[in-house]
Amino acid sequence: MASPPLSPETEKRIDMMFPPDQRAEVRRMLLEEVGHNLWGLEKLNEYQMDRYRFAVLRLSKGDFEKLPSVIEIANRDWRDLLVWSGFGSGDHNWWLPEKKF
Protein backbone atom coordinates (compact mmCIF):
# COMPACT_ATOMS: atom_id res chain seq x y z
CA MET A 1 0.00 0.00 0.00
CA ALA A 2 1.38 3.41 -0.95
CA SER A 3 1.88 5.96 1.79
CA PRO A 4 -0.05 9.21 1.72
CA PRO A 5 1.58 12.22 0.08
CA LEU A 6 3.25 14.88 2.16
CA SER A 7 0.90 17.55 3.42
CA PRO A 8 1.49 21.21 2.55
CA GLU A 9 2.53 21.77 6.19
CA THR A 10 5.15 19.03 6.02
CA GLU A 11 6.43 20.48 2.74
CA LYS A 12 6.65 23.91 4.38
CA ARG A 13 8.77 22.57 7.24
CA ILE A 14 11.10 20.70 4.89
CA ASP A 15 11.66 23.92 2.95
CA MET A 16 12.39 25.81 6.17
CA MET A 17 14.85 23.26 7.53
CA PHE A 18 16.84 21.84 4.63
CA PRO A 19 18.82 23.39 1.78
CA PRO A 20 17.36 23.06 -1.71
CA ASP A 21 19.79 20.35 -2.78
CA GLN A 22 18.65 18.03 0.06
CA ARG A 23 14.90 18.57 -0.07
CA ALA A 24 14.04 15.98 -2.71
CA GLU A 25 15.81 13.26 -0.75
CA VAL A 26 14.18 14.35 2.52
CA ARG A 27 10.80 14.18 0.81
CA ARG A 28 11.56 10.73 -0.59
CA MET A 29 12.67 9.44 2.80
CA LEU A 30 9.56 10.73 4.54
CA LEU A 31 7.27 9.32 1.86
CA GLU A 32 8.90 5.90 1.74
CA GLU A 33 9.96 5.40 5.34
CA VAL A 34 7.52 7.40 7.49
CA GLY A 35 4.13 6.42 6.22
CA HIS A 36 1.92 3.40 6.00
CA ASN A 37 4.91 1.16 6.71
CA LEU A 38 4.70 2.21 10.38
CA TRP A 39 2.83 -0.26 12.57
CA GLY A 40 -0.80 0.71 13.15
CA LEU A 41 -0.74 3.77 10.87
CA GLU A 42 -1.84 2.05 7.66
CA LYS A 43 -5.07 4.04 7.30
CA LEU A 44 -3.87 7.57 8.11
CA ASN A 45 -4.06 10.33 5.51
CA GLU A 46 -1.39 12.95 4.84
CA TYR A 47 -2.72 15.31 7.51
CA GLN A 48 -2.90 12.61 10.15
CA MET A 49 0.69 11.62 9.26
CA ASP A 50 1.90 15.16 10.03
CA ARG A 51 2.40 14.32 13.70
CA TYR A 52 4.88 11.54 12.88
CA ARG A 53 6.61 13.34 10.04
CA PHE A 54 6.91 16.55 12.07
CA ALA A 55 8.43 14.51 14.89
CA VAL A 56 11.07 13.12 12.53
CA LEU A 57 11.85 16.59 11.23
CA ARG A 58 11.98 18.10 14.71
CA LEU A 59 14.37 15.48 16.07
CA SER A 60 16.59 15.76 13.00
CA LYS A 61 17.00 19.51 13.68
CA GLY A 62 17.47 20.01 9.95
CA ASP A 63 20.62 17.87 9.93
CA PHE A 64 20.43 15.59 6.92
CA GLU A 65 22.96 13.22 8.46
CA LYS A 66 20.70 12.66 11.50
CA LEU A 67 17.62 11.88 9.45
CA PRO A 68 18.28 8.13 8.92
CA SER A 69 18.77 7.47 12.64
CA VAL A 70 15.61 9.40 13.52
CA ILE A 71 13.65 7.48 10.88
CA GLU A 72 15.03 4.28 12.38
CA ILE A 73 13.50 5.29 15.73
CA ALA A 74 10.15 5.85 14.00
CA ASN A 75 10.31 2.42 12.40
CA ARG A 76 11.34 0.69 15.61
CA ASP A 77 8.63 2.29 17.78
CA TRP A 78 6.93 5.51 16.72
CA ARG A 79 5.70 6.02 20.30
CA ASP A 80 9.29 6.75 21.36
CA LEU A 81 9.59 9.16 18.46
CA LEU A 82 6.53 11.09 19.60
CA VAL A 83 7.61 11.27 23.24
CA TRP A 84 11.18 12.33 22.43
CA SER A 85 9.97 15.01 20.03
CA GLY A 86 7.50 16.42 22.54
CA PHE A 87 4.51 15.38 20.45
CA GLY A 88 3.38 12.56 22.73
CA SER A 89 0.23 14.45 23.60
CA GLY A 90 -0.51 15.19 19.96
CA ASP A 91 0.35 18.85 20.29
CA HIS A 92 2.31 19.13 17.04
CA ASN A 93 0.45 21.70 14.95
CA TRP A 94 1.93 24.62 16.86
CA TRP A 95 5.51 23.60 15.99
CA LEU A 96 7.40 25.58 13.38
CA PRO A 97 11.16 25.18 13.08
CA GLU A 98 13.49 28.12 12.94
CA LYS A 99 13.82 29.06 9.30
CA LYS A 100 17.28 28.16 8.01
CA PHE A 101 16.64 28.48 4.28
Q: Which amino acid is at 58?
A: R
Which residue from 81, 95, 83, 10 is spatially nearest to 47, judged by alpha carbons? Answer: 10
The pTM of this model reads 0.95
Structure confidence at residue 1 (pLDDT): 60
State the sign of the Cα–Cα–Cα–Cα dihedral 74, 79, 81, 82.
positive
Helix pair angle (20-33, 50-60), 10° resolution = 130
pLDDT number for residue 98: 87
Supply the pLDDT for residue 11. Answer: 98
Q: CA–CA distance from 44 to each of 5, 6, 20, 52 (Å)? A: 11, 12, 28, 11
Mean pLDDT in consecutive groups of 10 residues from the start of the chain, 101 residues: 91 97 98 95 96 98 98 96 92 88 84
